[in-house]
Amino acid sequence: MVVGAGQIGTPLVEQLAADGHRVTWCSRTKPASMPMGVEHRSVDARDGEALAEIARGAHAMIAAVNPATYDANVWAETLPPLHRGLIEGASRAGVRLVLLDALYLYTLREGPLSPDTRHAAETEKGKIRMQIADLYTAAQRGGILRAVIFRASDFWGPDLKSALLTRDGLRGLKNGKRPMLIGDPDAPHAFTHRDDVVNGLIKLAFAGDDVEGRVFHAPVIHVSQRELVQAVAHAMHVAVRPIVAKRWLLRVAGLFSRSVGGIVEMLPQWEQPYLVDDSSYTGRFGTRAITLQEGVAQLAKLTPALS
């Protein structure tokens, strides 16, 4: 069972179906494209009772859900009740909950970030993530929930709507459009490939009981924004010079766009080296992240030019 039909939930369902698994896909509205054999159920993830009814008999519930906007006010309003619904649904159904989460709850003063790094967020979105983490900790300590949490860094890869290089951004890059970078474009930054997230969620859903009650960090590569963009551009046989957005410009733009405004408070993780320790996951499963070279070759092949 998969909850969520966004940029991770959709390829996750596609991969599970391709692997031959029976999948029930839950989201508020039915996706326009449905893989063969997948059953869709319209449900509000805040409704734990409805989720439990759908999840009974499932091997696991995989949740990849997040608000469409990058606004802390929206997150504060929508995320806590959504996660209470997920906890109730998985608990009532007695199934393992595999949750895709973010790294925002950690302090940036200690690194590289690991599952043992202190929860001491200084941003509003980070504090909301801390609140959600407390919900899961309490439920698991109370013995009512079997869960495993998979925290990913900033995404890169194909067909993304929210990323440094989005689907539209990649098409623009292939046609010579200058991409926009933020913070320090030359600082090393942890990026998680979309397909590593999808594969990790599947592995955690079918892994042994030892993963329950634990937090894992998705595989990452450490590369600067400029290096990532230039590597993709080179593979596409284009030469572009990125634009680096100044902090003050983002602040002004944020007055007119909540999503841009939401980027401003997260700038500290883009203005300094942002390093993540993924050994909790790579050590457990004996795997590694998709390399820069592998991922870039994939993007160059999959990204069409604009007509």
Buried b (16+ CB within 10 A) or exposed e, 42-72: ebebbbbebbbebbeebebbbbbbbeebbbb
* Confidence label for 254 from pLDDT (cuts 50, 70 and 90): confident
Q: What is the mean pLDDT of residues 183-201?
A: 98
DSSP count for the chain of H helices, then E strands: 11, 12
At 305 the pLDDT is 60
Q: In 10 A of CB 304, how many CB atoms?
A: 9
pLDDT digits (tens, 9 = 90+) for 126-153: 999 999 999 999 999 999 999 999 999 9
pLDDT at 257 over 60: yes
pLDDT digits (tens, 9 = 90+) for 106-119: 999 998 999 999 99
**Count of positions (residues) in the chain:** 307
Nearest in space to 34 (alpha carbons), one of 20, 62, 14, 58? 14
At 200 the pLDDT is 98
At 5 the pLDDT is 96
Question: Bridge-partner residues for 151, per DSSP?
Answer: 101, 217
pLDDT at 303 over 70: yes
Mean pLDDT score across all residues of the chain: 94
pLDDT at 237 over 50: yes
* CA atoms 163, 169, 171, 174: torsion sign: negative
pLDDT digits (tens, 9 = 90+) for 260-285: 778 889 999 999 999 999 999 999 99
pLDDT digits (tens, 9 = 90+) for 11-36: 999 999 999 999 999 999 999 999 99
Q: What is the mean pLDDT of residues 204-208?
A: 98
Residue in this structure with the two tokens 């007055």, named with its chain if needed: 255
Q: What percent of the chain has pLDDT over 70?
A: 99
* Confidence label for 238 from pLDDT (cuts 50, 70 and 90): very high
Domains of the chain: 2-155+192-219+275-287 (3.40.50.720)
* CA atoms 136, 139, 143, 145: torsion sign: negative
pLDDT at 307 over 60: no
Pairing mode, strands 180-181 and 96-101: unpaired
pTM of the model: 0.95
* Confidence label for 235 from pLDDT (cuts 50, 70 and 90): very high
pLDDT digits (tens, 9 = 90+) for 36-45: 999 999 999 9
